[in-house]
Amino acid sequence: MEHTAEAPISTFVNPLLHDPTLWLVFSFAAFVVLAFVFGRKSVLGILDAKIDKIRNDISAAEKLQIEAEELLSQYKSNLQNASIEADRIIAKAKQQAEDIRAQAEKDFNDTMARRESMLKTRVEQMERSAVEDIRRYAAELAISATTEIIAQKLSDQKASALTDESIRHIGEKLN
């Protein structure tokens, strides 16, 4: 009876062993198991490496973002400082221009006062010189007229006495 018991199993197993679908399923299952056993570490290693690379990229991007924000705030601060400095320089330049204008006006007024004083002094000198010239001319004219009148009316004897007296009189005034 052993033989009969095997017959039904072999009749059932024999057609299954010759079925290509069964072998395909077994092959696929064996492939999946072998791929899982042998490929799991390498696939997980690759995935872990990709994850680490992505994490590093994200970390580097965050660091770059922080640096960019710091640079932006630094540039904004520098721009604000530059704006303040420019305003200060403009205010200083305006003050210097005002000081230069005031100094130039003061120098101009001083120069004009000096020139006016010099002109007044020069006019006064010219007036004195003109008055002296007129007096000298008047004296010369008077002397000339007197000399002519005296020469017409005075005799030689009286002229000699008058000359002596004039010389004596001039000598007294000089001493």
The whole domain housing 69 covers 60-141
Q: Quick check: is 28 in a domain?
A: no
Judge whether 49 and 42 are in contact, CB under 8 Å.
Answer: no
List pLDDT tens digits, range 68-96.
999 999 999 999 999 999 999 999 999 99
Q: Quick check: is 172 in a domain?
A: no
pTM score > 0.95 for this model? no
pLDDT band at 1 (very low <50, low <70, confident <90, very high): very low
Percent with pLDDT over 90 in the chain: 50
Tracing tokens 């299954």 back to the chain, one arrives at 16
Q: Quick check: is 11 in a domain?
A: no
pLDDT at 15 over 70: no
For residues 27, 29, 35, 36, the Cα torsion angle rounded to the nearest 10 degrees is -170
What is the domain count for the chain? Answer: 1
What is the structure's pLDDT at 3? 47
DSSP string, 99-128: HHHHHHHHHHHHHHHHHHHHHHHHHHHHHH
- Longest distance between any two alpha carbons in the chain, whole Å: 215
Q: Quick check: is 104 in a domain?
A: yes
Q: At what angle do helices 156-174 and 20-153 cross, to 10 degrees?
A: 140
Q: Quick check: is 102 in a domain?
A: yes
Q: Quick check: is 26 in a domain?
A: no
List pLDDT tens digits, range 89-135.
999 999 999 999 999 999 999 999 999 999 999 999 999 999 999 98
What contacts 155, CB < 8 A, 6 or more positions away? none
Query: What is the rounded average pLDDT of the residues 12-37?
Result: 82
What is the structure's pLDDT at 175? 63
DSSP letter at 144 equals H
Q: Quick check: is 133 in a domain?
A: yes
